[in-house]
Structure 1
Amino acid sequence: MFTISGAEAYKNYTVGDKLGWFDDLQTPEINYQKWVDGKNFSLGDFLIFNTDKNHSVIQTYNQTTYKLCDYYDATDDTTEWSSAQPAVDNTAVTVAVPLLKEGTTYFFSGNYDGEQCQHGQHFEIDVSHGAGLPPDLKSQYSSGGGDSPGPSASTSGADDQSTPDTVIPSNFDKPTDNGNAKEASTSAAVVGGGGGLGPMGVVVVVGWAWMVW
């Protein structure tokens, strides 16, 4: 469980709010860059992606990779937080991504040769220092070992909602090789089976699952 002092300094942002993380062919009203407007992202915040197994979550610090909607030739500045099934799979899943580095970072779905990204499933944000990384998250980021802490539901501005499965990658700062891009982990903590973020914001880890479905 991820706990921090001064939790009011950190926020959990649900990407797309109630619309979730999908391309505009599936959800025409989506505009993720417009969703970003007016928000202040800082180190230690989490982005919560509510999506399904047919859409992936790719993070990159490389603008060229982002513009091409293609992570297959990306280097170690790109992380695949969740991959998608080669066949259509609408099983709901939530991916929690911590903001670990200051500056501009980009997110997109890399499925179908970049088609989902080209159809609106992408955005960029600027991450400020804010209060800096909280101790638990900072120790994970610097060491690359142990279990990844999940987002704190007691943070201010938390707008995430529970979904059937929550995937919180482990060893997120030192991902393993997955082709040319880097995958966040081969294992993930799962919050599900009636779990999720409870009314008091308690995250209950009930098991382990493979990140690559």
Structure 2
Amino acid sequence: MKAIVASTLLLCTFALANGDQLQCSHTEQEIKTDPNWTDMKRSCINSMRTQIRAELSAAMQYLAMGAHFSKDTINRPGFAKMFFDSASEERQHAIKLISYLLMRGELISDVSNLIDTYIGVSKTQWDSGVEALKDALQLEATVTKKIKGVVKVCEDQPGPNDYHLVDYLTGVFLEEQYTGQRDIAGKISTLDKFMTKHGALGEFLFDKKLLNGEL
């Protein structure tokens, strides 16, 4: 860091000594877009921006779940790891959608308004692992429904179908969503069986298997 600061000061000193040959600041450039390139319809863009917020909201909810199961009074590290990993996955989904809009040239303005300054969570406490998993399944189903909503908007919009975006969402995002939903549903079933057979100890055993990557 010190080397960078020193280099910057050296460059500025050199610029002062050499007049206009070197500048240490630049003016913000106005980006003019070609309608032949930036061809996404406004309704489709708005749906994508809404979906980005939905992915970030899901990430925050998973963070709350991970934090809950990390508390020393709960101490379920397997559940905590699973939910923290899910939070990272949802955040990556948001990044992918942002990158897509950038690729299509549709994030040249209002970027600061894309992400709200605060995204609240609907719940911060869970009485059991089963309850949390059921909430996670509902959360995934909600995100899936929203993605399908984006697909519908971009298919049914006035003008040409946005084939590339629709294919991207259905081939990548919906595949992950359906796979994730099936995985959570399976975990709910397994945990129910653990607790039926072992009672309260069942959740403890299930958590250990989660932590060891056995589920």
* TM-score of the alignment, normalized to the shorter chain, above 0.5: no
TM-score normalised per structure 2: 0.23
The structure whose Rg is larger is 2
Kindly indicate whether structure 1 or structure 2 has the higher relative contact order, using CA contacts under 8 Å at least 6 residues apart. Answer: 1
Of Structure 1 and Structure 2, which has the larger fraction of its residues in helix? 2
Of Structure 1 and Structure 2, which has the larger fraction of its residues in strand? 1
TM-score normalised per structure 1: 0.23
